[in-house]
Amino acid sequence: MDETPKNENLSVDAFLKKYILPFFFPAKVPNIGIIMFGAFGLSYLIQYGWQHFPEEQLFYEKTSLIGYTMVTLLRLLCLLLVFVLVTEHYKIKEHSTWGRNPGLGGFFISFLVGVPAMLLSTSMHNLFIYLELRLDNPLPRQLYYYVTEEQSLYGLLLTLLIGIALPILVEELFFRGLIVAVLPDRWYFRILIPAILGTLFAVDRLEFIPLLLIGLCCSAVRFFTDSTLCSCLTRVGLFCSHTLLAPIITEVEPGAAQNAMDYNRTVLYASIIAAVLGVVMMLVLLKQLFFLRYLQKNEDLKCDSPEGKALPIPFYDHFHIDFLFGIAFLILCWVTS
């Protein structure tokens, strides 16, 4: 008569040990939870210190180029730290994070994707500002920015290094390298999740939509070419096209227009046209990248190559308690920004 309760207790214990208790311990495989916990946890600590440390005790202003350089370096270092710890601890191989060599054609198309990405992001930036002014809404303030009239060679080199080169390399290696490596080989995972997390990591309410569009373009390039270097080239192409086409499609500064009546209508119409052109160009280039991925997959099947194969990580292993901590720190970053 006592065997049934004992069997029920055993089944409950087995259920707890198999499904409940593992949730409270880090997974034995690399997963999105531990990555989010590390990245957003360190980011929140940097953000908290940056917001609460008295500016009077610094030898520079927080909105100066030096201040922006310091906080940017700290945020990039936290991404690098998480990248090194996760890849070394879980023995993630280089071809999983960097991907493969897609050939000269893949690199060239990836660079060209930066042009429509620039058109889309700049036009959305301008249209968002116009819409906010039209609705008489205050523009969201940015947490990390700098104001400077520095025109020296050293100032320009520092801006290129800290504002362009290092963020491209580190952010792409982290979001399009490490995060893509631990996700299942499905387009909706490998394109959407890195783009969303990269945008949220920036903690920039004003540039949320443009950054999300850039992230989606880079993630799409990474997925179709299976190369992190290609997504880096996309951002390089974005910067080059932004510099060359600045006289044609200008990125409106938030303080340039106080209300919708002051907004330059020429910029508004140019932004709408640029958005349409950007969509058309993007579709053409993505079609070529899709064909490139098709050729890569066929070659992998013929040669049985380890390249392009996702890490064998069960989907449920991404959702442990470290995932909840990562979400909590992410919310803290945005609530306190």
Question: Of 122, 128, 130, 124, which Cα lies nearest the Cα of 261?
Answer: 130
The reported pLDDT for the residue numbered 1 is 46
pLDDT digits (tens, 9 = 90+) for 99-146: 999 989 999 999 999 999 999 999 999 999 888 888 888 888 888 877
Residue 158's pLDDT band, with cuts at 50, 70 and 90, is confident
pLDDT digits (tens, 9 = 90+) for 223-271: 999 999 999 999 999 999 999 998 888 888 876 666 555 667 788 888 9
Angle at 133 between CA 130 and CA 137, to 5 degrees: 130
pLDDT band at 302 (very low <50, low <70, confident <90, very high): low
- Choose between 177 and 67: higher pLDDT: 177
Question: Is there a contact between 52 and 43 (Cβ–Cβ < 8 Å)?
Answer: no
pTM comes to 0.89
Residue 188: CB partners within 8 Å, gap ≥ 6?
Answer: none
Question: Percent of the chain beyond pLDDT 90?
Answer: 53
